[in-house]
Amino acid sequence: MSVWKGTKPAQAAPSRQEETRVCGFNAVRAVHAARPEAIRKLYLSESRIADLKPLLAWCVRHRVGYRVVEDGDLVRLSGSGHHEGVVADVLRVEPQPLSQWLSALPEGPALAVWLDGVGNPHNFGTILRSAAHFGAAAILLPPASTLTLSAAAARIAEGGAESVPLVRLPPSRQAIEPLRCAGFGLLATVVGGGDDLFAAALPARCVYVLGAEETGLEPGLAAACD
């Protein structure tokens, strides 16, 4: 790798937040737009310098280090050949508790997506991208969910991860009651035996509960939905 370009990184104050790696042109630009202070290091190919001039200028002003590196270095840093010429180390945003999210949620219609067992990071990224496009208010994660915003998920989300908050749920029975009290109807997505989604009268506040890739939705949770 080359030496650090611009100024050296400032000594950051101790932080309990963990860092994660984000790759992909739109994903990195979305972090810069939404929470630039979270950026800790930046790696880019020479071909991306012109595209990322505003971000590089911000790095210089705020003493955040960046490196211009070869494609092979970006592959190693991102773990993928689909890095799109830029990789960033950023502070990870941890999911917020359900009670915190509900207390801050504005009145009016809202849609949230509950992922019951979804585990593939590429699927997670696709869901985040779609949720952002359609204006979803949150992605709801069960307490045992291992989903995190990995480099692959962030890249596929195309910046959607910065506009859709992640919410950590309590166990299912404890999560359903406060959601209903907040006016949400819960819709279970099932392979067979359900009503036609496109013919159903949906509530103004709605939670779509999506099951795992292989096993689908847990039957007890499906039965507890509306």
CA angle at 15 for the pair 13 and 21, rounded to the nearest 5°: 110
Q: What is the pTM of this model?
A: 0.82
Q: What are 60's two structure tokens?
A: 């210089």
Count CB atoms within 10 A of the CB of residue 158: 19
- Identify residue 5 by its one-letter amino acid code: K
What's the pLDDT score for residue 117?
A: 87
Tell the residue number behind the tokens 């279970």, with chain if given: 188
Supply the DSSP symbol for 12: P
Identify whether the C-beta of residue 191 lies closer than 8 Å to the C-beta of residue 216: yes
Every domain range in the chain assigned CATH 3.30.1330.30: 19-91
What's the pLDDT score for residue 15?
A: 45
Q: pLDDT 10s per residue in the chain (226 long)?
A: 444 454 444 444 444 678 999 999 999 999 999 999 999 999 999 999 999 999 999 999 999 999 999 999 999 998 888 899 999 999 988 899 999 999 999 999 999 999 998 888 999 999 999 999 999 999 999 998 888 888 888 889 998 889 999 999 999 889 999 999 999 999 998 887 888 888 888 999 999 999 988 888 888 999 999 8
- The β-bridge relationship of strands 19-23 and 86-91 is antiparallel
What's the pLDDT score for residue 130?
A: 96
Every domain range in the chain assigned CATH 3.40.1280.10: 96-224
What's the pLDDT score for residue 14?
A: 43
So what's the architecture of 19-91 in CATH? 2-Layer Sandwich (3.30)
What's the pLDDT score for residue 189?
A: 86
- The β-bridge relationship of strands 110-116 and 39-44 is unpaired
What's the pLDDT score for residue 115?
A: 95
What's the pLDDT score for residue 39?
A: 96
What's the pLDDT score for residue 16?
A: 60
Which listed CATH number (3.40.50.720, 3.60.21.10, 1.10.10.10, 3.40.1280.10) goes with 96-224? 3.40.1280.10
